[in-house]
Amino acid sequence: MRGDVVWGSIPGLVRSAAARFADREAVVEGRTRLSYAQLGARVERAAAACMANGVRAGDRVGIWAPNTLDWIVSALGAVSAGAVLVPLNTRFKGSEAAYVLSRSRAKLLFVTGTFLGTSYVASLRRACASGGGRGPLPALPHLEQVVVLSDDAPADFRTWKDFLASGDGVGEARVREREAEISPSSPSDIIFTSGTTGRPKGAVITHAQTLRGYEIWSDLAGLRQGDRYLIVNPFFHTFGYKAGVIACLMRGATMVPQPVFNMDTVLANIASERISVLPGPPTLHQSLLDHPSREAYDLSALRLVVTGAAVVPLRLVERLRTELRIDTVLTAYGLSEASGIVTMCRRGDAPSVISSTSGRAIPGTEVRVVDSTGTALAPGAPGEVLVRGFNVMRGYFEDAEGTAAVRTDDGWLRTGDVGVLDAEGNLRITDRIKDMFIVGGFNAYPAEIEQLLGLHPDVADVAVIGVPDGRLGEVGKAYVVRRPESVLTGDDLIAWSRREMANYKVPREIEFVRELPRNASGKVVKGELRGR
């Protein structure tokens, strides 16, 4: 079943879900419990308010807020009004948010009030205090309105309640007319990349790409009606929004959004809400398994875990299956420029395949590994991962030069990731091209070394970077999180490494840390480690 054919657009999916799963529970947030019919009505009201406030097809609408019901309603409402959604990272500072809003020329912004002790409104106002615009933020002349997702807002902004009320004069017929104008090829969102190689770039993804990609994801994962899905992955990220909200709409699963990653809250939610689906980075599942109070919670409803990272220890996969009796544990690989989904393991794959690879290309997608000249490499040889298929972005937003740099004339996307394909087509990501370092002429891939170090029974988490060395050019340095009560020393780990891996891969320095710096998507911020 092709999602883009069945629903046509994301608002078509919302309306279909409201009808098909009308009485089923759609979203649980504290004491608030919404059915799919009620969620559909709220989204329609938000769409009407967007239209009443001048949002037209193709306008960009930003959202800067954590995982909440209001995020779901405002985002889907904007998209149902024909807007192109621009999610902003909740870790952004005001200047970073202002850059994305300026670059996308967002017309409307939904923003949380205070989150984790930070006033996003004040942060944005400080960053945009000067400029020639007449709107609420002078430095952002295209931004006509800011809606605060709370009951309080500054005089020049609007509250969520007042904003919704402003659309009450827009009839259902007009909303449906607007929805009908949205074609499968219309942009649905612009996902700004992390900006590791400079300023963030906005990957433009269409309704058809989103629907087709996450129909496939839902099918391969085995997501089904009646599942209860704890969404810890942030909504601003494809893993949270599309493999979360969109996938649940497709299958009639119940969404339980969690705005802050806190393992006590995760455990409480799993037990009280009978959570059956828990995607997330490996660190989430590792923390769950190692939590000292885990046995006090009923986790028996858990049946599906989907994770994705360069390093997924085999021991983690085995512990999830044996200790928690989770039927399905899968790994996947994706990037913003390819709709967030490229490869995925299949149910029934061996634990060794799930832990050591990110699975095979999804239907409708090709993956190959090439050398620096673009020549395809044989299985087992590392090179740059290229992707071609329905999922490849239309391009970077208003950036023809940036798009041309990553997309070949025959449609292949250069991912910037180093990987290896095995004979069965399973992809193993070894690193980012820029993260590779060279030890005495040998290419060393941090993710591969991390995978090996993760096999040590006293290593809970690890990240490896290259550091300068007078004799070899560069050598590895490992930042290691020990397991509780471990007395592992650096010399112990280096000696163990010499027995387990080629000499050039062995880290020359070990630094023990309480935790690794990670971004909201769960990826280690290696720039911060290098900065140390």
Cα–Cα–Cα angle for 87, 91, 97, rounded to 5 degrees:
55
Looking at the fold, whether 394 and 484 belong to one and the same domain comes out as no
Determine the Cα–Cα distance for residues 178 and 371; give it in Å rounded to an integer: 47
- In terms of Cβ atoms closer than 10 Å to its own Cβ (0-12, 13-18, 19+), residue 517 is middle
Structural domain of 344: 261-432
Residue 282 lies in a domain: yes
- The pLDDT, as a whole number, for residue 210 is 98
Pairing relationship of beta strands 145-148 and 108-111 according to DSSP bridges: parallel
The CA radius of gyration of the chain, in Å to the nearest whole number, is 23
- The pLDDT, as a whole number, for residue 73 is 98
* CB 78, CB 163: distance < 8 Å: no
Total count of domains within the chain: 3
Does residue 303 carry a pLDDT above 60? yes
- The pLDDT, as a whole number, for residue 311 is 66
Does residue 293 carry a pLDDT above 70? yes
* Phi, psi (rounded to 5 degrees) for 54: 85, 10
Percent of residues, the chain, with pLDDT higher than 70: 95
Pairing relationship of beta strands 187-192 and 202-206 according to DSSP bridges: antiparallel
pLDDT-derived band of residue 310, with 50, 70 and 90 as boundaries? low
Looking at the fold, whether 114 and 186 belong to one and the same domain comes out as yes
Q: 119 - beta bridge partners?
A: 114
| Highest-pLDDT range among 84-98, 159-173, 193-207 | 159-173
Phi-psi label, residue 6: left if phi above 0, alpha if psi -120 to 50, beta otherwise: alpha
- Per the model's pLDDT, the better-predicted residue between 69 and 440 turns out to be 69
Does residue 289 carry a pLDDT above 90? yes
Does residue 107 carry a pLDDT above 90? yes
Looking at the fold, whether 288 and 420 belong to one and the same domain comes out as yes
Q: What is the mean pLDDT of residues 167-192?
A: 95
Alpha helices (H) along 359-507: 400-406, 446-453, 490-500
* CB 252, CB 225: distance < 8 Å: yes
Looking at the fold, whether 384 and 454 belong to one and the same domain comes out as no
- The pLDDT, as a whole number, for residue 490 is 96
Cα–Cα–Cα angle for 51, 153, 139, rounded to 5 degrees:
75
Determine the Cα–Cα distance for residues 289 and 33; give it in Å rounded to an integer: 29
pLDDT-derived band of residue 291, with 50, 70 and 90 as boundaries? very high
Residue 138 lies in a domain: yes
Q: What is the mean pLDDT of residues 275-296?
A: 92
Looking at the fold, whether 266 and 306 belong to one and the same domain comes out as yes
Looking at the fold, whether 41 and 169 belong to one and the same domain comes out as yes
* CB 507, CB 467: distance < 8 Å: no
Looking at the fold, whether 85 and 154 belong to one and the same domain comes out as yes
CATH number at residue 441: 3.30.300.30
pLDDT-derived band of residue 254, with 50, 70 and 90 as boundaries? very high
Does residue 129 carry a pLDDT above 80? no
- The pLDDT, as a whole number, for residue 196 is 42
- The pLDDT, as a whole number, for residue 252 is 98
DSSP result, 368-379 = EEE-TTSPBPPT
Looking at the fold, whether 428 and 446 belong to one and the same domain comes out as no
Pairing relationship of beta strands 442-444 and 437-439 according to DSSP bridges: antiparallel
Determine the Cα–Cα distance for residues 13 and 374; give it in Å rounded to an integer: 39
Q: What is the mean pLDDT of residues 407-432?
A: 92
Answer with the one of 432, 456, 484 that is the final residue of a domain. 432
Q: What is the pLDDT of residues 198-243, one digit of tens each?
A: 578 999 999 999 999 999 999 999 999 999 999 999 999 899 999 9
Does residue 474 carry a pLDDT above 90? no
Does residue 197 carry a pLDDT above 50? no
Residue 524 lies in a domain: yes
Q: What is the mean pLDDT of residues 69-79?
A: 98
CATH number at residue 7: 3.40.50.12780
- The pLDDT, as a whole number, for residue 200 is 82
Looking at the fold, whether 418 and 444 belong to one and the same domain comes out as no
Whole-number Cα distances in Å, 86 to 5, 50, 107, 420 = 24, 15, 11, 33
**Of 38-52, 138-152, 205-219, 303-317, the least confident:** 303-317
Q: 64 - beta bridge partners?
A: 111
* Phi, psi (rounded to 5 degrees) for 61: -125, 125
Looking at the fold, whether 490 and 367 belong to one and the same domain comes out as no
Mean pLDDT of the chain: 92
Residue 202 lies in a domain: no
**Of 15-19, 33-37, 179-183, 518-522, the least confident:** 518-522
Q: What is the pLDDT of residues 352-377, one digit of tens each?
A: 999 889 999 999 999 999 998 999 99
**Of 11-25, 384-398, 427-441, 468-482, the least confident:** 427-441
Determine the Cα–Cα distance for residues 474 and 28; give it in Å rounded to an integer: 51
- The pLDDT, as a whole number, for residue 530 is 86
- In terms of Cβ atoms closer than 10 Å to its own Cβ (0-12, 13-18, 19+), residue 9 is buried
- The pLDDT, as a whole number, for residue 132 is 55
- The pLDDT, as a whole number, for residue 123 is 87
Whole-number Cα distances in Å, 270 to 6, 27, 136, 303, 410 = 32, 15, 41, 11, 46
Answer with the one of 414, 432, 450 that is the final residue of a domain. 432
Alpha helices (H) along 114-243: 120-127, 160-165, 172-180, 207-221, 238-240
* CB 361, CB 334: distance < 8 Å: no
- The pLDDT, as a whole number, for residue 117 is 81
* CB 108, CB 55: distance < 8 Å: yes
Looking at the fold, whether 43 and 185 belong to one and the same domain comes out as yes
- The pLDDT, as a whole number, for residue 118 is 82
Residue 279 lies in a domain: yes
Answer with the one of 175, 193, 211 that is the final residue of a domain. 193
Dihedral sign for Cα atoms in the order 451, 453, 459, 461: negative
Token pair for 177: 């007319």
Query: Coil, helix or strand for 456?
Result: coil
Looking at the fold, whether 388 and 526 belong to one and the same domain comes out as no
Three-state SS for 1-65 is CCHHHHHCCHHHHHHHHHHHCCCCEEEEECCEEEEHHHHHHHHHHHHHHHHHCCCCCCCEEEEEC
Residue 376 lies in a domain: yes
Residue 496 lies in a domain: yes
Residue 176 lies in a domain: yes
Q: What is the mean pLDDT of residues 427-452?
A: 80
